[in-house]
């Protein structure tokens, strides 16, 4: 069993025609879990947008609102999404972060969707506060894994993730790298393409890779189909990957006889006489 997760900055969904085109396009792509940033959704829009997502072929969705012209993040679930998806409604209500979890028999995958600030100082403060969003796991009967996705509005490596490259690191890069180290997360696209120059956002002659998927390093061997793809409705490209979900392995095991079976008189007599029918 596997799940395909994508992250995409949609650059606003206020226009109803665009919103329904985006919803329909995403539903037809047959992704499983869709993390959106910069939705521009307000509290008054939530019920309508949730309904429109379902009309266009989607399933459940959860929204953390910003204003009608800034911020806003959401997680959309499709009808074919495997596992049990649990939405977290306790995220801060500033339109910057939203979370959900996917539960299987043997593991829980905690997914945080981030839209980082354009302001360098505010972005740095957001990254420094991330420890508040990574919960302490109280259920030790299953394994727990963190997955962090979104538009981080900064690059990890100024020499390869920007064109033209910068002489100085982006504000917030140091704090983001510390966060990844602290929680043992890895940039799965860069892991697959260590020397490639590929970008997710372009403005004028400036290009940058600022949209990321960071996974628990222990999941690396279960991640595949990592890619960056064009989205016709946004100025950002989407980042996607597939993850093989943990499943309890069913081995040959030991056969245990149902005790009620030997209560059948004919079978009991058959066994008593060594396979010969009793008289």
Indicate the helix (H) or strand (E) that contains 62.
Answer: strand 58-64
Q: CATH second-level architecture of 2-253?
A: 4-Layer Sandwich (3.60)
Q: What is the pTM of this model?
A: 0.86
Which three-class secondary structure state does DSSP give residue 257? coil
Domain boundaries along the sequence of the chain:
2-253
User: Which residues of the chain, if any, have pLDDT below 50?
Assistant: 248, 250-265, 267, 277-279
255: tokens are 């056969």
pLDDT at 37: 98
pLDDT at 261: 42
- The catalytic residue positions are 115, 151, 236
Q: CB within 8 A of 249, min separation 6: which ones?
A: none
Supply φ then ψ for residue 196, to 5 degrees: -75, 145
Residue 242: how many other CB atoms lie within 10 Å: 17
Q: Which of 197, 117, 106, 208 is nearest to 155 (CA)?
A: 208
Residue 152: how many other CB atoms lie within 10 Å: 25
Place of tokens 């949609």: 10
Strands in 206-208's sheet, in edge-to-edge order, are: 162-163, 206-208, 201-203
DSSP per-residue letters across 106-164: SEEEEEEEEE--SSHHHHHHHHHTGGGTSPPP--TTSEEEEEEEEE-SS-S-TTTSEES
Is 236 labelled a binding residue? yes
pLDDT at 156: 96
Is 94 labelled a binding residue? no
What is the tens place of the pLDDT at every residue in 39-76?
999 999 999 999 999 999 999 999 999 999 999 999 99
Is 84 labelled a binding residue? no
pLDDT at 139: 79
Cα 20 from Cα 5, distance rounded (Å): 20
> What's the first-to-final CA gap in the chain, in angstroms?
54
Is 163 labelled a binding residue? no
Is 153 labelled a binding residue? yes
Helix axes 120-128, 173-182, angle to 10 degrees: 10
Please answer whether residues 188 and 241 qualify as being in contact, where contact means their C-beta atoms are separated by less than 8 angstroms: yes
Cα 156 from Cα 76, distance rounded (Å): 27
pLDDT at 258: 42
Phi-psi region of 274 (alpha: psi -120 to 50; beta: other; left: phi over 0): left
pLDDT at 270: 56
What is the tens place of the pLDDT at every residue in 146-164?
999 999 999 999 999 999 9
């Amino acid at each position: 069993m596997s799940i395909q997760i994508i992250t995409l900055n949609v650059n606003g969904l206020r226009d109803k025609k665009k919103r329904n085109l985006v919803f329909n396009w995403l539903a037809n792509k047959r992704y499983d879990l869709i993390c959106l940033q910069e939705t521009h959704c307000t509290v008054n829009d939530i019920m309508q947008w949730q309904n429109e997502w379902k009309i266009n072929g989607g399933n459940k969705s959860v929204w953390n609102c910003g204003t009608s012209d800034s911020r806003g993040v959401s997680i959309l679930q499709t009808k074919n999404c495997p596992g049990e998806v649990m939405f977290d409604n306790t995220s801060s209500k500033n339109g910057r972060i939203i979370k959900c979890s996917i539960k299987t028999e043997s593991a829980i995958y905690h997914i945080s969707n981030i839209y980082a600030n354009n302001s360098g100082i505010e972005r740095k403060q957001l990254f420094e506060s991330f420890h508040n969003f990574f919960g302490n796991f109280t259920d030790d009967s299953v394994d727990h894994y963190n997955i962090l996705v979104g538009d981080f509005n900064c690059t990890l490596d100024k020499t390869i993730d920007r064109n033209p490259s910068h002489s100085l690191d982006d504000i917030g890069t140091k704090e983001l790298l510390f966060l990844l180290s602290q929680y043992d997360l890895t940039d799965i696209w860069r892991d697959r393409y260590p020397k490639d120059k590929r970008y997710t956002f372009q403005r004028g002659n400036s290009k940058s890779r600022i949209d990321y998927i960071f996974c628990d390093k222990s999941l690396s061997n279960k991640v595949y189909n990592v890619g960056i793809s064009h989205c016709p409705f946004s100025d950002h490209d989407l980042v996607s990957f597939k993850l093989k979900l943990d499943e309890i392995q069913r081995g040959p095991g030991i056969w245990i006889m149902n005790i009620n079976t030997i209560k059948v008189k004919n079978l009991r007599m058959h066994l008593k006489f060594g396979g010969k029918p009793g008289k």
